[in-house]
Amino acid sequence: MVFSSIPFIFFFLPVFLILYYLVPYKVKNILLLIFSLIFYAWGEPIYILLMIFSSVVDYTNGRMIEKYAQNNQKRKNLFLIISIIVNLSLLGFFKYADFLIGSINSLLNINIPLLELGLPIGISFFTFQTMSYSIDVYRGDVKAEHNFLDFMTYVSMFPQLIAGPIVRYEEVSKELKNRSITAQGFADGMIRFLQGLFKKVLIANNIGYLFVIASSMPNNEMSVVMSWLGILAYTFQIYFDFSGYSDMAIGMGKMLGFTYPENFNHPYISKSITEFWRRWHISLSSFFKDYVYIPLGGSRVKKIINVRNILIVWMLTGLWHGASWNFVLWGLYYGVLLLLEKFVFNKILEKTPNWFKHFYTMFLVVIGWMIFAFDDMTILKEYASMMFGVGGVSFINNHALYYLKNYLIIFILAIIFSMPVYKLAKEKLSKVKNTKSVFIISLIIYTVLFIVVVSYLVNDTYNPFLYFRF
């Protein structure tokens, strides 16, 4: 599926919003469902059937779990198991079949043909959402949805369908039936949407292109500094890309009357890996905590079992991101780091100064993104060698100096806006008595930035959404 920002921003979104605000309240969910299906079918309409199938399965399972909740525990368990098996089978078949076949081929030195299936966009998100719904009904945390159109609307809502945040049914169940749609909500949502758009287009796209250059540069032209510039660019690209999309999703939700969960809380200001994962992709961390870690026993078990639980969660977290060994390595990398912080380094970190804790955290995060970025293990090894000067690579050369000079300003902007500067500015402006002047200045700033964004979208062909492939 190929997503294009230009038709989405200039055609799809305005048409949808006009219709959404014009139609009667009782028709809004139907309109949202129709446009969500159109949005999902933009590139590969065949995969709509997959999402509808997943929705039918979990809608039915939810009803059956509710039906047998009081008088037949075995059947209640059966329908939960069906939900889990169907969802994980869909995810496993489309996302991991070729990974498994390729691993078997390498291990046994055989040549089983790969299936080469296209990965349905957002399958990792909507299968987790529908499966979590069945689990929550089973636990009694939510009541089963009896209106299939409302349930399908929840599953397919286009603002967060293809790259999150992961929205649980309990978080929007009341708003599916009765939500407040106001001018203030629209204004707040539009501002949040534009903030995400600016992060994505003006920072992520621009700084991300440096990583493309560095990762494709011949080894004899590379240097230690150039390799670090490349992976630092990727570090900022993936944050501004993913958090920018989350901001756009949350903003769109506000415009429609929904409150989606926050997904990022300035993770690059963290002073430990533990804190980083409380701030990064919050909805995914929360999902694995509630549906894997705690059911396994969490931390209220023997230390060795707790270690096992953490490693399982992080291996699954790595695999969730992609069907490649580098993602498994990335997940276990963070699992080991979290174990070290929990059982070895915690008291030492408490005594170290904040600047060191921040440096330590960001150094390890950057190394983590290096592992994450390359799904070819040979290329990963080569790039890691260049970063640490192994193999006779020069420390710095003319290429590195050229790109450092040309990308210095965007790096400075990325550093500034990865910190909570907007929150601080908002607090300062809230104390200004002349609200009319603040409004006019803000309007001018957002208008200028939007014009700049439009010019980039029209002229720039490099506009990836990194998390669409997960």
**CA dihedral sign of residues 201, 457, 442, 258:** negative
CA angle 420, 423, 426 (to 5 degrees): 150
Note the pLDDT of residue 465.
59
Q: What is the DSSP string of 104-118?
A: HHHHHT--PPP--PP
Residue 138 contacts residue 131 (beta carbons within 8 Å): no
Note the pLDDT of residue 45.
81
Q: Rg of the Cα trace of the chain?
A: 23
Instruction: Looking at 391-434, list the stretches that DSSP marks H as alpha helix, in order from N- to C-terminal side.
Output: 398-417, 421-430
Peptide bond into 267 cis (omega under 30): no
pTM attached to this predicted model: 0.91
CA atoms within 13 A on the CB side of 273: 20
User: What is Dmax (Cα atoms) for the chain?
Assistant: 75
Question: Which amino acid, one-letter code, is at 35?
Answer: F
Contacts of 415 (CB under 8 A, 6+ apart): 236
Q: How far apart are CA 164 and CA 162, in angstroms?
A: 6
Q: Is 166 helix (H, G, I), strand (E, B) or coil?
A: coil
Of the candidates 97, 84, 34, which has an alpha carbon nearest to the alpha carbon of residue 57? 84
Note the pLDDT of residue 399.
92
Task: List per-block mean pLDDT (blocks of 10 residues) for the chain, which spans 470 residues.
Answer: 53 86 92 89 81 93 93 93 94 89 88 85 87 94 94 90 84 91 90 90 92 92 95 96 92 92 95 96 93 92 94 94 92 96 87 93 97 93 93 90 94 94 79 74 82 76 59
Note the pLDDT of residue 1.
39
Residue 105 contacts residue 142 (beta carbons within 8 Å): no
> Any idea which residues carry the catalytic annotation?
321
The DSSP output letter for 45 is G
What counts of helices (H) and strands (E) characterise the chain? 21, 0
Q: What is the DSSP string of 23-43?
A: S-HHHHHHHHHHHHHHHHTTT
Note the pLDDT of residue 411.
96
Note the pLDDT of residue 3.
46
Q: Where are the domains of the chain?
A: 5-179, 185-469
Residue 66 contacts residue 55 (beta carbons within 8 Å): no
